[in-house]
Amino acid sequence: MRTAISFSGGLDSTYLLWKLLTETEDEVIAFYMNTKEDYKNKFNRYRFYAFEHSVEIVVNEKKKEMMLSVIEWMQKNVRPFEYREYDIEEKYLRKDLENCPNSVNAFVALELLKNNEIDKFVSTIEMDNDGGSHVEMNNDGSSLIYLSSGFEISYYIFKNNSLLDKLEHSLLKTNYHQATAIRNIPEQALPLTRSCNLIDSAGEPCNECFKCRKRIYFKNKIDSGYSDQEIYEEYKKRCTVIESKWISMKHWLLAEDDVYAKYKGYESKIENFIEFAKKNNMIGEVPEWSRLYPL
């Protein structure tokens, strides 16, 4: 079996790569998407969505260096596999889709499948992805499909290409959360991983952004003696809110310290975060993946 995985050097992709290398005999291709400073000018005909005011797509050579150190460690200490890099080219973008890292990864995987280079694509999407989807209009009057769940994006792309049987969401089929990754990634490799997109020239994370706070949250749970199942139960409960609506961990975790309020220009403390989230369109319908893989 020839299997592709998108790789960022963070906890989710490192854990999944390690699982593939240790629990299967698959021929693995791990690919990384390069971003460039001039992408906005080059691709201004497309919409590109990324969390935290486009932090996701900011070029950070130090983070890439750290990512490559994880690749090198895995190749040397686990088993050989192929590593590739791709630039975000126009062929991986769509005018009728809200483009994001998940959509770009899916289109690269489709290209590999159609070229008969792989047999399946294993997605690194896990439970905490922003939920909900809707359709809005482009300036030219055409419809834009906005899929704000990472699962929905890849599912939609593969379904429209009649290749759903080649797409696997391994992390959604288990009670995975990042504490699982922290516990299981080999101790020599774990310090090489980076979740933060704002790491400094020494490779140190900012410890303020959502990705840092999320990682700290799970590390604190481990240090406090919680089991993986106990962590999962709380995680699941806090990501499911009233009226069958669903809210991402990103929103409630940042709101604990009023961080998201500052992002949105609010100065006062959030007294009722659910009300705040509704007003700012931060709560969506329960994601489609949660119906396929019941929580």
Annotated domain spans of the chain: 2-173, 206-292
CA distance 90 to 39: 10
Give me the phi and psi of 273, to 5 degrees please: -65, -30
Whether pLDDT at 228 is above 50 = yes
Using an 8 Å Cβ cutoff, are 265 and 279 in contact?
Answer: no
Distance in angstroms (rounded) separating the CA atoms of residues 28 and 4: 6
What is the rounded distance in angstroms from the CA atom of residue 130 to the CA atom of residue 170?
18
Q: What length does the chain have?
A: 295
* Residue in 60, 289, 294 with CA at minimum distance from that of residue 167: 289
> In the predicted model, is pLDDT for residue 287 greater than 60?
no
Q: Backbone phi, then psi, for 153, in 5-degree steps?
A: -60, -55
The reported pLDDT for the residue numbered 248 is: 61
Q: How far apart are CA 189 and CA 228, in angstroms?
A: 20
Average confidence (pLDDT) over 244-272: 49
Domain 2-173, CATH 3.40.50.620 — does that match? yes
CA separation for the pair 158, 108 (Å, rounded): 11
- Which one is predicted more confidently, 27 or 101? 27
User: Which pLDDT value is given to residue 237?
Assistant: 67
Nearest to 65 by CA among 178, 213, 199: 199
pLDDT band at 39 (very low <50, low <70, confident <90, very high): low
For the stretch 62-77, pLDDT in tens is: 888 999 999 999 999 9
Classify 186 as helix, strand or coil.
Answer: coil
Q: Identify the residue with better confidence: 238 or 84.
A: 84
If pLDDT is split at 50, 70 and 90, which confidence band does 27 have? very high
Most confident of 59-63, 112-116, 139-143, 192-196: 112-116
Compute the mean pLDDT over every residue in the chain, rounded to the nearest whole number: 75
pTM reported for the whole predicted model: 0.80
pLDDT (0 to 100) of residue 265: 39
**Residue 146 pLDDT level (bands cut at 50, 70, 90):** very low
The tally of CA atoms less than 13 A away on the side-chain side of residue 138 is: 13
